[in-house]
């Protein structure tokens, strides 16, 4: 289910009231605009591809993988037809190919039921997804935020979030997770929306 307009409006009122620093970011950035990623399996594959590489590199690999699988779309049944060596031709590392194929197996044998996962709590979703080799808490959090559109997820370990908080709140160093969690407490129950504004701030930091 996508974020509802009234939910977003309530979130922005709350965040501007509770945090003047973030309120400035909200005013400068404008509307909160996130379209949910409805293909849950494809999003997890994309998240695996994106681990520890730049956005540009991840985009390139995703496009090459799409071409490799064409005319079929990314799905567990389709990916299982390819070996790690064949996936390597699309730029997928052997390690990530193993992660992707483990995800395929978990989905096809019912270990992870993506069609039912939206009924679970945030904690249960995280526990379910981290059964897959190569999917950790951060990937589960991205899934919660951008596939399930859960409003109060805070990825404290995300380097972008930590860098943004460090710059916004005057840290002389990159803040640790505990420091970020303390600051983000004032954003609850809309930490997903606040995190999105932190990322947008970091993208436009050169203009500040």
Residues 61 and 120 occupy one common structural domain? yes
Residues 10 and 46 occupy one common structural domain? no
Residues 124 and 158 occupy one common structural domain? no
Token couple for 148: 């399930």
Q: What is the pLDDT of residue 205?
A: 55
Task: Give the whole-angstrom CA distance, residue 112 versus residue 106.
Answer: 5
Output DSSP code: residue 118. Answer: G
Q: How many domains does the chain have?
A: 2
- Quote the Cα angle for 16-21-22, to 5°: 55
- Quote the Cα angle for 101-109-47, to 5°: 40
| Residue ranges making up the domain that contains 22 | 5-35+153-207
CATH of the domain at 57: 1.10.340.30
Residues 102 and 182 occupy one common structural domain? no
Residue 169 near residue 161, CB atoms below 8 Å? no
Residues 88 and 103 occupy one common structural domain? yes
Task: Give the whole-angstrom CA distance, residue 151 versus residue 88.
Answer: 36
Phi and psi, residue 130, nearest 5° = -75, 5
Mean pLDDT, the chain, whole residue set: 93
pLDDT per residue as tens digits for the range 15-59: 999 999 999 999 999 999 888 888 999 999 999 998 888 888 999
Q: How many residues does the chain have?
A: 208
pLDDT per residue as tens digits for the range 151-180: 999 999 999 999 999 999 999 999 999 999
Residues 75 and 135 occupy one common structural domain? yes
Token couple for 182: 């303390």
Residues 160 and 122 occupy one common structural domain? no
């Amino acid at each position: 289910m996508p974020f509802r307009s009234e939910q977003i409006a309530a979130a922005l009122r709350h965040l501007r009231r509770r945090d003047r620093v973030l309120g400035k970011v909200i005013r400068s950035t404008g509307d909160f605009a996130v379209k949910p990623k409805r293909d849950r399996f494809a999003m997890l594959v994309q998240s695996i591809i994106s681990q520890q590489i730049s956005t540009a590199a991840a985009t390139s690999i995703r496009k090459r993988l799409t071409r490799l699988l064409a005319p079929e779309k990314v799905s567990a049944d389709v990916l299982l037809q390819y070996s790690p060596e064949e996936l390597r031709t699309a730029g997928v590392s052997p390690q990530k190919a193993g992660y992707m194929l483990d995800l395929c197996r978990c989905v096809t044998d019912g270990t992870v039921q993506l069609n039912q996962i939206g009924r679970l709590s945030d904690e249960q979703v995280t526990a379910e997804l981290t059964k897959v080799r190569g999917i950790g808490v951060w990937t589960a959090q991205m899934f919660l935020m951008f596939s399930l559109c859960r409003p109060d997820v805070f990825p404290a370990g995300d380097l972008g979030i930590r860098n943004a908080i460090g710059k916004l709140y005057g840290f002389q160093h990159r803040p640790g997770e505990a420091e970020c969690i303390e600051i983000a407490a004032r954003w609850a129950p809309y930490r997903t929306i606040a995190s999105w504004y932190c990322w947008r701030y970091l993208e436009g930091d050169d203009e500040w």
